[in-house]
């Protein structure tokens, strides 16, 4: 994760400035937000499933995509494919729930300020001793 974040910061230092307004609104740092965006992109790559970012991660992803040449290069370098952003008119809570489940399996407890209260509820449910095999 660190290498991917370092690559972004080295090649697109302006991205940190572009996400500052998001960070101020949600009381998070740009580094925290960019780390979570990279984690989300990595989840898409490792699961090959349709996933849904949190609103905050989606806003950061929108800013990243605007750096079209570097976004394409980043995807090809780190994921060997271009990761498309495909908006949908309909909300599918099942997709977001799956995203959070994958996130917890891969990274542990999601930051509430970025992934929301639902993610924390899923984290707490995943720690239930009676729920594991």
Sign of CA dihedral 107, 111, 114, 119: positive
Q: What is the mean pLDDT of residues 61-82?
A: 96
Q: What is the mean pLDDT of residues 87-108?
A: 87
Helix-strand-coil split of the chain, %, nearest 5: 70, 0, 30
The rounded radius of gyration (Å) of the Cα atoms in the chain is 15
Which has more confidence, 39 or 117?
39
| 52 touches 44 (CB < 8 A) | no
Which pLDDT value is given to residue 126? 80
Q: In the structure, what pLDDT confidence band is assigned to residue 30 with cuts at 50, 70 and 90? A: very high
Q: In the structure, what pLDDT confidence band is assigned to residue 83 with cuts at 50, 70 and 90? A: very high
The distance from CA 32 to its chain's CA centroid, rounded to whole angstroms, is 10
Q: In the structure, what pLDDT confidence band is assigned to residue 100 with cuts at 50, 70 and 90? A: very high
């Amino acid at each position: 994760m660190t290498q991917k974040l370092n690559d972004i910061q080295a090649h697109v230092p302006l991205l940190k400035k572009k996400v500052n307004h998001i960070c101020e609104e949600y009381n998070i740092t740009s580094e925290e937000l960019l780390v979570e965006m990279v984690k989300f992109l990595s989840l898409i790559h490792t699961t090959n499933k349709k996933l849904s970012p949190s609103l905050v991660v989606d806003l950061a992803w929108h800013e990243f995509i605007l750096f079209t040449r570097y976004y394409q290069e980043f995807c090809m370098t780190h994921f060997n494919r271009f990761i498309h952003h495909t908006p949908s008119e309909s909300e599918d809570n099942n997709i977001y729930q799956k995203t959070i489940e994958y996130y917890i399996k891969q990274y542990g407890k999601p930051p509430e300020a970025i992934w929301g209260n639902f993610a924390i509820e899923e984290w707490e449910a995943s720690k239930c001793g009676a729920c594991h095999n």
